[in-house]
């Protein structure tokens, strides 16, 4: 059986890390695409030269032409510009919308059967636009944000409670950004929900709220420290988990920005919700029960995503 083919559109900080991880995990052959000449070729060669040391077999190629992604099984999109200190994700909208138009056309022409994972910010609006520009079925185009946001939440909780990250599950809903909705009720340490841990005296409700806020600000915290760009290791790991679930038909339940067609009472939009990812792409959107507070936070988050989608339609009327 031939190896899977993974195309990475954008070979910057996240793209390079994705290529390295996909190689280490032997997910398939890897094509790094970028508009910068020489850079994807250089990264591909560098990672290929690490393969004898780490013991993985994968062909790596760098390219500046879309022909090279022909027939890709998975396409992960990071093309565009990242945030600099002081910039919000939304400041990136206009520049990255143009990039999504080019990328969408390239995917439609050369990899129409791929499972597409978008990472470019502002995430929910960009994945919505990429699906429109590419014309691929909406269950094959998904956005990465919730896996990263919940990983941050899990890491902070594990650190606070001094337990293994493996035993912390966490649940984050809504758009990627300041309005994301970390759901404490559905987040657990070895199955014990966080509100119960507060009752058991593991931490105070105030401390838990601080951790929730740090999760919401998790991206900005890294931008502030790095100064020259945004997070890339954890975002890459998160997208690889989604790609792996698709390629191996693992049917993992992961929070992703998914197209809603009536679920949660919403249509024609992309919002972070729990989904099952398997060989069929997004095989199911899971509709969870929310209490009044959670629903209010979710609605606020949806409204902020809707605002960005409307802004995209103004910039690019063909999307309306």
Catalytic residues, by residue number, are 176
- Closest by alpha carbon to 15, among 80, 94, 72, 93? 80
Based on CB atoms, which residue is closest to ligand A3D, 5 or 83? 83
Q: Hunting for tokens 């401390």 — which residue is that? A: 207
Q: Does 121 bind ligand A3D (CB under 6 A)?
A: yes
Judged by beta carbon, residue 23 or residue 197, the one nearer ligand A3D is 23
38 vs 288: CA distance, rounded Å: 46
**If 0-12 CB within 10 Å is exposed, 13-18 middle and 19+ buried, where does residue 311 land?**
middle
Structure tokens at 110: 């050369």
Whole-number Å distance between alpha carbons of 23 and 212:
34
Q: Does 82 bind ligand A3D (CB under 6 A)?
A: yes
Question: Closest by alpha carbon to 189, among 203, 177, 207, 175?
Answer: 203
d(CA 16, CA 78): 10
Q: Which 223-252 residues touch ligand A3D, going by CB under 6 A?
A: 229-232, 235
- Under the binding rule (CB under 6 A), the answer on residue 140 touching ligand A3D is no
Structural contact between residues 181 and 174, judged by C-beta atoms closer than 8 angstroms? yes
Q: Does 35 bind ligand A3D (CB under 6 A)?
A: yes
Residue showing the smallest CB distance to ligand A3D in the complex: 12
- Binding status of residue 104 toward ligand A3D by CB under 6 A: no
Q: Does 212 bind ligand A3D (CB under 6 A)?
A: no
The answer to the question of residue 102 lying near ligand A3D (CB under 6 A) is yes
Q: Yes or no: say if 19 and 32 are a contact pair by the CB < 8 Å rule.
A: yes
Question: In terms of CB distance, is 30 or 189 closer to ligand A3D?
Answer: 30
Q: Does 78 bind ligand A3D (CB under 6 A)?
A: yes
Taking the least distance from each CB to ligand A3D, the nearer of 29 and 101 is 101
Q: Interface residues with ligand A3D (CB under 6 A)?
A: 9-15, 34-36, 78-83, 92, 96, 99, 102, 119-121, 123, 144-145, 148, 176, 229-232, 235
């Amino acid at each position: 059986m031939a190896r899977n083919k993974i195309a990475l559109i954008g070979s910057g900080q996240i793209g390079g890390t994705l290529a390295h991880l996909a190689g280490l995990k032997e997910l398939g052959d890897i094509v790094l695409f970028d508009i910068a000449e020489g850079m994807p070729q250089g990264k591909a060669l560098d990672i290929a030269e690490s393969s004898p040391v780490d013991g993985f077999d994968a062909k790596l190629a760098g390219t500046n032409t879309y022909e090279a992604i022909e027939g890709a099984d998975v396409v992960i999109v990071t093309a565009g510009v990242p945030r600099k200190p002081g910039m919000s994700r939304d400041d990136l909208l206009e520049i990255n919308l143009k990039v999504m138009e080019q990328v969408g056309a390239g995917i439609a022409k050369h990899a129409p059967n791929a499972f597409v994972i978008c990472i470019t910010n502002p995430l929910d609006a960009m994945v919505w636009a990429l699906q429109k520009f590419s014309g691929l079925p909406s269950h094959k185009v998904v956005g990465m944000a919730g896996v990263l946001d919940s990983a941050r939440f899990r890491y902070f909780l594990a650190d606070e409670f001094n337990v293994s990250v493996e035993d912390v599950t966490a649940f984050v809903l809504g758009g990627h950004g300041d309005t994301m909705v970390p759901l404490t009720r559905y987040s657990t340490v070895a199955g014990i929900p966080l509100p119960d841990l507060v009752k058991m005296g593991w931490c105070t409700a105030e401390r838990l709220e601080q951790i929730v806020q740090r999760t919401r600000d998790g991206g900005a915290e890294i931008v502030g420290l790095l100064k020259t760009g945004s997070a890339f290791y954890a975002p890459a790991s998160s997208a690889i988990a989604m790609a792996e679930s698709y390629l191996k038909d693992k049917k993992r339940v992961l929070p992703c920005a998914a197209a809603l067609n009536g679920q949660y009472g919403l249509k024609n939009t992309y919002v972070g919700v729990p989904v099952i990812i398997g060989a069929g792409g997004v095989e199911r959107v899971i509709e969870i029960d929310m209490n009044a507070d959670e629903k209010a936070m979710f609605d606020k988050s949806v409204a902020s995503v809707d605002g960005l989608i409307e802004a995209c339609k103004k910039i690019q009327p063909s999307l309306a």
